Amino acid sequence: MSSIMSHPIDMASQPIRPIRSWQHWSAVSSTLRAYLPGTDMVVDQIRSTSLAIRMAFQYLLAPLYFAREQGWTIRGRHGEMAAIMYLRRGSRQGIRVMHIDDISVGLDYRRLGLAERLMQFAEQLAIRESRPFLKLAVTVSNTPARTLYTRLGYQDQHHHYFTWTPSSTALQRAVTSSSLASNLTLRPLQRRRQAKQMFHQLCRMELKASVPALADMLAAYYPRGNGMTSVPRTGTQSFAVLQDGTKQIGYCDRSRNDGRWNLRLSLDPEWWGTETERHAISQLAGTIPPEDQPTTGIALYVPSAAHFEAIRANVYILEGEPALVEQSFPRMLMVKSLG
């Protein structure tokens, strides 16, 4: 019987102990058993592979990976690992963080507050080590975990994007209309370094407007914008968004990946959710070569949650086309500031 009554020991009094070097393989096995299907994207992917790959992951690759980190556990009734947490430290551009790399609770020990105890322990360690940020990644479909993290003060950082599938005729009509109606132009950027610097500058500006307390940390650890790591480094055409031919108000680029065109746009917050931004989106979509019009749709990415919400609130519509459709990445970033 798997219930609280089957574990008469007081789990609240059980100490949090370090996981020793020879215990990582056992910790990994316990963690894999704890994840139900659909609660962790990585584990689901491993389970779908061959037996040989699963064995290599469980008994070799994962233990070696976690051996580089600091593991903590709360023991159960029979000395087994009832709850497990692995922590990873990081420091970039002088910004120190604590990353919760994995946290799991055995099926027989749930609803006893063990995950919350481990999370609070991680927070105490971060404060003691002068690390003002805690961060973690969670599978979007894992609602219980997301609910817990939100209750503990973690903020959901941007994990949405938009898609739409325009017809070539309507797309060209929208581009022409936007070009005539606006004073925007897209100036191609030939130098990759210049494009990278421009995007980072605009991305940081967006983050400061969206989440001021987290902006510097997010810009340091996710320089291409959270959720946009799928945009390839090569095969990208970049543009400066100019107003009246001289004033730079944004950056955008396009690239093709897995048969779909990906558009990325970063704008001065003044223009979020405005007609000016609609024209910028239309013109960026219009840079897709006519002979290579999308058959699997177009994806639009923006760096910050506030920018995404501004677009969603205004329900952008390209002329003659349905509205953009909101999509989610399978995993999301959650961050807590201790400052």
What are the tens digits of pLDDT across the range 234-266?
A: 568 899 999 998 999 999 999 887 778 889 999
Give the model's pLDDT for residue 223.
77
Q: Is the dihedral of CA 52, 53, 54, 58 positive or negative?
A: positive
Q: What is the pLDDT of residue 170?
A: 63
- CA 61, distance to chain mean position in Å, is 24
Among 1-5, 165-169, 179-183, 335-339, top mean pLDDT goes to 335-339
Tell me if 76 sits within 8 A of 106, measured CB to CB: yes
Contact 335, 155 (CB under 8 A): yes
Reported confidence tier of residue 145, pLDDT bands at 50, 70, 90? very high
Output the pLDDT for position 180.
64
Where does the pLDDT of residue 3 fall: very low under 50, low under 70, confident under 90, or very high at 90 and above? very low
Q: Look at residue 12 in the predicted model and tell me its pLDDT.
A: 79
Cα–Cα distance for residue pair 20/254, rounded to 1 Å: 47
Task: Output the 3-class SS for the chain.
Answer: CCCHHHCCCCHHHCCEEECCHHHHHHHHHHHHHHCCCCCCHHHHHHHCCCHHHHHHHHHHHHHHHHCCCEEEEEECCCCCEEEEEEEEEEEECCEEEEEEEEEEECHHHCCCCHHHHHHHHHHHHHHHCCCCEEEEEEECCCHHHHHHHHHCCCEEECCEEEEECCCHHHHHHHHHHHHHHCCEEEEEECCHHHHHHHHHHHHHHHHHHHCCCCHHHHHHHCCCCCCCCCCCCCCCEEEEEEECCCEEEEEEEEEEECCEEEEEEEECHHHCCCHHHHHHHHHHHCCCCHHHCCCCCEEEECCCHHHHHHHHHHCCCCCCCCCCEEEECCEEEEEEECC
Report the pLDDT value the prediction gives residue 205, as an integer from 0 to 100: 92
Position 228, amino acid: M
Which domains does the chain carry?
A: 4-153 (3.40.630.30), 160-329 (3.40.630)
Question: What was the pLDDT predicted at 16?
Answer: 96
Return the higher-pLDDT residue of 97 and 173.
Answer: 97
Tens digits of residue pLDDT in 31-73: 999 988 888 888 888 889 999 998 998 889 888 989 999 999 9
% of residues, the chain, pLDDT over 70: 85
**What pLDDT is stored for residue 314 in this prediction?**
83
Output the pTM of the full model: 0.84
Residue 158's pLDDT band (boundaries 50, 70, 90)?
confident
* Structure token digits, residue 309: 């919400």
User: Tell me, what's the pLDDT at 287?
Assistant: 86
Mean pLDDT of 308-325: 78
Give the chain's radius of gyration (CA, Å).
23
**Structure confidence at residue 1 (pLDDT):** 41
- pLDDT of 226 > 80? The answer is no
Residue predicted with more confidence, 75 or 192: 75
